[in-house]
Chains A and B, each alone.
Chain A
Amino acid sequence: MQRAGIILLLSGLLAVGAAYACVLLGIAAAAAPWWLASGATAVLAGLAVLGAARRGRATPVLTATIAASFTSVLAGLLIPLALPAPDATGPLLLGLPFPTAILLLLVGLVPLVLLPIAYAYAFDREVLSDDDLAALRAPSRAAEQVAGRASERAK
């Protein structure tokens, strides 16, 4: 899973770099926003995958949430790029021009709701359980006990 995260991150960075290169070099500038939208989403998804990865453990809820959230973000950025720019008489959705509303719903609302709820729901099984914490704290507890005994002997 860590490898998948790094591959996603690296491909996203190359796409963002390609977008900036298009603008800086003045080559295929029309493609630049498409590269940037895809690249930025891939970089963020790669970071999320890295954060969710745990050695030797599956994280199905977090993985599914990442897939759903970042598919939504990608769609939310690419659909408005594909749609014509809204004019002053076009239809409104929730008080906003249609492409703007689509963008805000898919990039803003969907991950805003999905991510924190999935994180809380999967926390015990996929993020940090009591057992995980106890295992991590065991070596420092042992060291504290050694230091405590030495301190008592000193008194």
Chain B
Amino acid sequence: MNIAVGISYFLCCAAIGWWASRRTRTAEDFFVAGRSIGLVPFAIAAMASTLSGFAFIGGPGLVYAMGMTAVFIILPASLTNTLGAWVLGKRLRLLGEVRQLVTVPDAIGARYRSPAAQGLSAVAILVGIVGYVGTNILALGIVVDAIFGVGLMPGIWIGTATLLAYSVGGGILAGIYTDVFQGLLMAVASAVVFVFALDSGGGLAAITRAIQSADPALMGPWGARGAMVALSFFFVFAVGSLGQPHVAHKYYMLKEPRRLRWYPLIMTIAMILAQLLFVGVGIAVRATVARGDAPPLTSPDEATPYFLLNHVPTFVAALVFSGVAAAIMSTVSSFLSIGAAALTHDIPRAFGRSGARANAGRAADANAVADVVANVVADAVADALTLKRGRLWTVVLCLAGAVLAQASGTLVAFLGIFGYGLFASTLVPALAIGLNWDGATREGAIASIATGLVLTLALETAAWIKLISIPTGVTVSGLTLVTSLLVFIAVSLATRRNAAEQLDADVRAVMET
């Protein structure tokens, strides 16, 4: 049963990739889906790429181990689904249209009129992506092995081949529509398992009492790790959500900006459904162990596999395993797309090499007929070249991730840990605040991105090699996020005399709309 559902799932992904590749003709199609995505696919795709395999495996494991503390990782979703549209969505979508932007660093470059800020943010994104892709491909290998029983290494390469099949040909267009398919699968699987989880424990009150009999703190408001850890999770995951490039990038793709009106509502409903498993399985398995009906798990990550194998029908288990693969693949494909865009578009631009978009802007202003013709031809050539390079870098990044996934488990885990915090500390100040505050300056943006990048790498590495010890309740990502935000505001205030002259009229119009 598992194998049949698994094969059907992978065939569906490949079919969507084939369909999308036939519709991908330009670099704009490849990187921003031709700005043609409707509201519902957009919201479901955003949900699917927000949630990685962590929501299905690591998250329930953390709830099993820490109780309510881990719930603070997903609790900010009550705010962030709307805050994303409120703070980022409208302005990114409008700026994307006015300036024909294709990447998140593009927006930073346009906002501050600064190729340096654009290039630096692209480097930060690339550093974060390497770890994320490696970790997720490893997780994908584990899931493929669980479904087909082929072993970890073949599992990694089967997963990688499927990813390549739809990401390279169809780019982000394939990514979006596989995300929609995968997001629906995740939501259905999660909701069904949640019902089984409550049923297996005799209802929420019975589950609570069973867990309390073993350790009352687990179901207390802050869980087993206490208020500081819980609140640190809340702070980092709430504020950090505004700096996740694979989600922010999707705002460019929405066909009609006024459709943003219903995005928070749809995203919220989709997110609630997809996160039910996160909490339900964690507490249900903990209650089972507390009652003595099962031995303690050797690793918290076994919570979901244990529950699926012992408490749900085989078909549902197969559906969830496919849902896990879906969550992983949708996140990786989004990262591959923005990584390829950083390498083909943002970093060359930081070094003064303009692409097709810049030529398009010049064509609109040109008066001489010969200039217009020359620019149109140059645009077509540059566009074809960008599309080709985008596909090539997608292959390179995906293969690099697959090779990294075969490295030592601790190295992969280390690289995977700091991605979220790195994106938060480097992108939230310059992007989320910068697009909404006309007092922000180029100097502030560059200083905050550099601070976030250097501090995250230095502190995470020092903590990993045990050079420093961070006390419980303080996280590296929390520290770096606060520091980079303070640096951004302080440097912007100190250089505020430059703020007005760094804002182009069209960017100011977007910020004031």
Mark A residues whose CB is within 8 Å of B.
2, 5-6, 9-10, 13-14, 16-17, 19-20, 23-24, 32-33, 36-37, 39-40, 43-44, 47-48, 50-55, 62, 69, 73, 77, 80-81, 83, 85-88, 92, 94-97, 99-100, 102-104, 107-109, 111-112, 115-117, 119-120, 123, 127-128, 130, 132-133, 135-137, 139-140, 143-144, 146-147, 150-151, 153-154
Residues of A within 8 A of B510 (CB): 136
Given A23-B228, A92-B205: A115 and B238 within 8 A (CB)? no
Query: CB distance B261 to A100 under 8 Å?
Result: no
The 8 A CB mask of B241-270 against A (1 = contact, 0 = none) is 010000000000000011011101100100
The 8 A CB mask of B331-348 against A (1 = contact, 0 = none) is 000000000000000000
Query: CB distance B257 to A128 under 8 Å?
Result: yes
Residues of B within 8 A of A143 (CB): 364-365
Residues of A within 8 A of B239 (CB): 40, 43-44, 47
- The answer to the question of B234 belonging to the interface, with a C-beta cut-off of 8 Å to chain A, is yes
Mark B residues whose CB is within 8 Å of A.
68, 71, 75, 77-79, 81-83, 85-88, 90, 94, 97-98, 203-205, 207-209, 212-213, 216-217, 219-222, 227-228, 231-232, 234-235, 238-239, 242, 257-258, 260-262, 264-265, 268, 272, 363-370, 372-373, 376, 432-433, 436-439, 471-474, 478-479, 482, 485-486, 489, 506, 509-510, 512-513
Residues of B within 8 A of A146 (CB): 364-365
Most buried by A among B82, B212, B258: B82
Residues of A within 8 A of B203 (CB): 95
- 17 other A-B residue contacts (CB within 8 Å) besides A96-B208, A112-B272: A6-B489, A23-B472, A33-B228, A50-B87, A51-B436, A55-B512, A77-B231, A85-B216, A86-B220, A95-B205, A111-B79, A115-B82, A133-B513, A135-B513, A147-B366, A150-B367, A153-B369
A108 to B279, CA, bound (A): 14
Query: CB distance B257 to A133 under 8 Å?
Result: yes
Query: CB distance A33 to B82 under 8 Å?
Result: no
A2 to chain B, nearest CB (A): 6
B197 to chain A, nearest CB (A): 13
Can you spell out 24 A-B residue pairs with CB atoms less than 8 angstroms apart? A5-B437, A10-B486, A33-B227, A36-B227, A40-B235, A44-B83, A50-B87, A81-B227, A86-B212, A87-B212, A88-B216, A94-B204, A96-B208, A99-B220, A100-B221, A112-B78, A115-B78, A123-B260, A140-B97, A147-B363, A147-B364, A150-B366, A150-B369, A154-B369
Given A47-B242, A48-B86, A108-B75: A17 and B486 within 8 A (CB)? yes
Residues of B within 8 A of A132 (CB): 513
Residues of A within 8 A of B478 (CB): 16, 20
Query: CB distance A40 to B489 under 8 Å?
Result: no
A152 to B286, CA, bound (A): 71
B247 to chain A, nearest CB (A): 15
A2 to B435, CA, bound (A): 12
Query: CB distance B217 to A13 under 8 Å?
Result: no
Residues of B within 8 A of A14 (CB): 486
A150 to B364, CA, bound (A): 9
Query: CB distance A50 to B437 under 8 Å?
Result: yes
Residues of B within 8 A of A127 (CB): 90, 260-261
A9 to B473, CA, bound (A): 22
Residues of A within 8 A of B257 (CB): 128, 133
Query: CB distance B79 to A154 under 8 Å?
Result: no
Query: CB distance A51 to B474 under 8 Å?
Result: no
A10 to B365, CA, bound (A): 41
A19 to B227, CA, bound (A): 12
A20 to chain B, nearest CB (A): 5
Residues of B within 8 A of A88 (CB): 209, 212-213, 216
